[in-house]
Structure 1
C-alpha cells in the first residue's frame, strides 16, 4: 500500500463507490413500508404528521422521522408543514389499488433480513444487530469488543483518508492551536487536520477498546509528535479541558437526541471561550427533503445505531440550546459536509 498523503485529495469522483455502500439499506426500508405495512395506501387516505404516524402504527419517533425524510427525498411523499401527503409518484406506483402498483414487484424481497429488522426498529426505536447478523449486539455494544472495534475502526479509517483531507481543506483554522477529536477512532481526522494546518496539535479521545488502534495508526501516518491519544468515555466522563477546537467527525449520527444534547453541552463546558466546535458528517438539508443519498445513508444508521443523519436546522437548534453561536455549513466530499459553531 502506498503511503497516505493527507494533504492530497484524489482527482476521480468518489460518489458512485460511496453511494452503493451508504444507500445499501434504503431499499429494505421502502420494502418494509410497501409490502408489510401497505403504508402508502394508508397515507393516501390519511395525510398525517410524524406524531400521527407513530400513534396509528405504534411506531417510535426516530425511525419514523428517518423513514419520512427518505420518502420525501424520493418524491414518494410531499411535506406540507408538519403533515405528509402522498405525492403523484407514490399514488401511482406505491398505493395498492393503483394499476401501476409495484407492491408485487417488491414482494419477493419481503423476507430479507434487513427488511424484517426494520419492522422491529420502527416499533421499538432500538437498533438492530450490526449488519443484521442473527447473533450479536447493536453497534454500540459491539464496539466494546476489541476485535470488532479493530475491524470497524479500520473500515472507518479507509473512508477518512478521503473525507478527512476534504474536511481539513474546507476550514480556516489558523487561529486555533489545540484540537480535541471526540470519538476520534483511528485518529485519521485529527491527523488530517494537523497535516493541513501546521499550527495545530491534537488529542484523539475515544474508548479504551480503540486506544491501541489509534496510537498505532497515528504513528503509521507520521504524526506521533503532534497527535496524542487519550482513552475515556465521552458519555460518562467530563471532556478534557484546555482545547480551543472540538471535533465530532461522523460521531453524532450514531446517537439519539438526548445523547447529542449531552455531548454538545459537554463540549460547551470544556471548550475554551472563543473556541470553535466542528461537526463533520452527512447532514440533511434544512427542509428535510434530501439530499437523497444522505437520506438513504440515514436509513442505514437508523437500522444499526441509535442515531440518524440530522438536519442543518436540527443541529443549529441543539447547538443554540447548548450556548453556541455563529453557525456555518458547507459541503465537502462524498455527500458529507461540515458545520461550525463558536463558543462566545
Structure 2
C-alpha cells in the first residue's frame, strides 16, 4: 500500500468522477453485448412484452441478475416498465432488434467471445458470481478475501477509493451526541479514521476478519489514529458485535451480498445497537423506481458479475431496514455516484 496522507480532512482540487465511472462501469458493455448478441433480448421483448417472471421463465434467468439487467436497460433507455410489464423502448426497437434496418447486433458481434460476456450468460442462469476479474484460475471473491495476497490487494484498492469517499460522507452525517462508531467489514479502516478526523469527539472500532484485521491495524497506526480507532477481529455473520458502539456503519459492504445475507446483517446490527442507536448505510444506490442512475446501474453490473450482491435501490434498503426493526431516514448524495441512508433503532 502506498504512503498514506495523515490529513483526512484534505480534499482534492479536481473532480475524479470520470476516473471512478470508467472503473465502476467497466463490465456494463459486456452485459449489454450478452443481451444483444447471444440472447437477442430486445427482439424477443419487443414481440413479447412481459413481466419479470415471464422474462425469467422464457430465458431461464434467475431473479438477482435479471433485476440488474432490467435496471441497466432501463437506465440506458432500452426498456420501460409499464405497471409491471416490461417493453422495449423505441430506441431499442430501432437499434437493437433483428428486423430493424438500423439493427446494431452485427456491430456487437465481434465482442461476443469476450470472457466477461460469456460469464454473464452463466450468471444470469445460475445466480452464481463469476470469479473476480474473470480469472478462471482464481477463487471466488469471498473465498479470495481469506487469502493474504488478494486481501492486501483488494483492501488497498478500497482504501484509495475511501480516502475521497469517506470524507464526503463524514462531513454530512450528524453524529452529535454519538460516542463510538463500529465500522463493520471496515477493511483498512479508512472510513473509521475519516469519521474520527471530522468528528473530534468520536471513537471508532473496525471489525473485519483475518488477514484484513492486520492490514487495518497497520493502516490505522500509519495514519496516527491508534489512540482513537481500534480493531476487532471477527466474522460479521458469526461473531458477536462489540457492545459499546452506538453507531454502526456498513460502507460498501451490503452490496456484496444477496437479500438473505443483507437481512441477516441488518438483524445482527439491530440486535447489537442500543435503543436510539444509529445505522449508516454508505453505498451506490439505485433510485426507487429502478431507472438509474446510469453510472450506478453500470456499477451494479460489475458487482452482480463478481459478488453475490448488486446495488440496491433506496426503496429496497428502506424496506429491509423496516423489516429489521429500524426507522429509515432519507437518502443523501455524497460524491462519485455514492450516498448514504441512516436508520435509527
The interval holding the TM-score normalised by the smaller chain is over 0.9
Aligned partner (choices 149, 160, 165) of residue 167 of structure 2: 165
Aligned partner (choices 309, 312, 326) of residue 311 of structure 2: 309
Matched, 1:76 2:78: yes
Match of 2:325 in 1: 323
Measure the CA separation in 2 of the matches of 1:334 and 1:287.
21
Measure the CA separation in 1 of the matches of 2:106 and 2:61.
25
SS of the aligned residue for 1:128 comes to coil
CA deviations 1:228-249 (Å, max 9, x no partner) are 0011001122322121100000
Measure the CA separation in 2 of the matches of 1:72 and 1:3.
40
Post-superposition offset of 1:4? 3.9
Match of 2:237 in 1: 235
CA deviations 1:177-222 (Å, max 9, x no partner) are 1111000000000001010001110000011120110000001111
Match of 2:197 in 1: 195
Match of 2:142 in 1: 140
Measure the CA separation in 1 of the matches of 2:340 and 2:214.
28
Preserved contact between residue 58 and residue 123 of structure 1 (Cα < 8 Å): yes
Measure the CA separation in 1 of the matches of 2:325 and 2:10.
35
Measure the CA separation in 1 of the matches of 2:131 and 2:228.
37
Q: Which runs of 5+ in 1 are unaligned?
A: none
Match of 1:108 in 2: 110
SS of the aligned residue for 1:289 comes to coil
> Which TM-score applies when normalising by structure 1?
0.98
CA deviations 1:249-275 (Å, max 9, x no partner) are 000000000000000000000001111
Where has structure 1 moved over 6 Å in runs of 4 or more?
none
Matched, 1:124 2:126: yes
Post-superposition offset of 1:46? 1.0
Aligned partner (choices 208, 218, 221) of residue 220 of structure 2: 218
Q: Which runs of 5+ in 2 are unaligned?
A: none
Preserved contact between residue 9 and residue 166 of structure 1 (Cα < 8 Å): no
Preserved contact between residue 282 and residue 340 of structure 2 (Cα < 8 Å): yes
Post-superposition offset of 1:291? 0.4
Instruction: Say if 1:102 and 1:4 are closer, same or farther in 2 by CA, change over 3 A.
Output: farther
SS of the aligned residue for 1:170 comes to coil
Within-5 A mapping of 1:141-156: 141-156=143-158
Mean CA deviation greater in 40-49 or 16-25? 40-49
CA-atom RMSD, angstroms? 0.9
SS of the aligned residue for 2:162 comes to helix
Measure the CA separation in 2 of the matches of 1:274 and 1:255.
26
SS of the aligned residue for 2:237 comes to coil
Aligned partner (choices 165, 179, 182) of residue 180 of structure 1: 182
CA deviations 1:66-115 (Å, max 9, x no partner) are 00000000001111122211001101110111100110000000000000
Measure the CA separation in 1 of the matches of 2:182 and 2:253.
13
Aligned partner (choices 250, 253, 257) of residue 251 of structure 1: 253
Preserved contact between residue 283 and residue 310 of structure 1 (Cα < 8 Å): yes
CA deviations 1:254-303 (Å, max 9, x no partner) are 00000000000000000011110000000001111000000000000000
Preserved contact between residue 95 and residue 103 of structure 2 (Cα < 8 Å): yes
Match of 1:337 in 2: 339
Measure the CA separation in 2 of the matches of 1:275 and 1:140.
29
Measure the CA separation in 2 of the matches of 1:251 and 1:264.
11
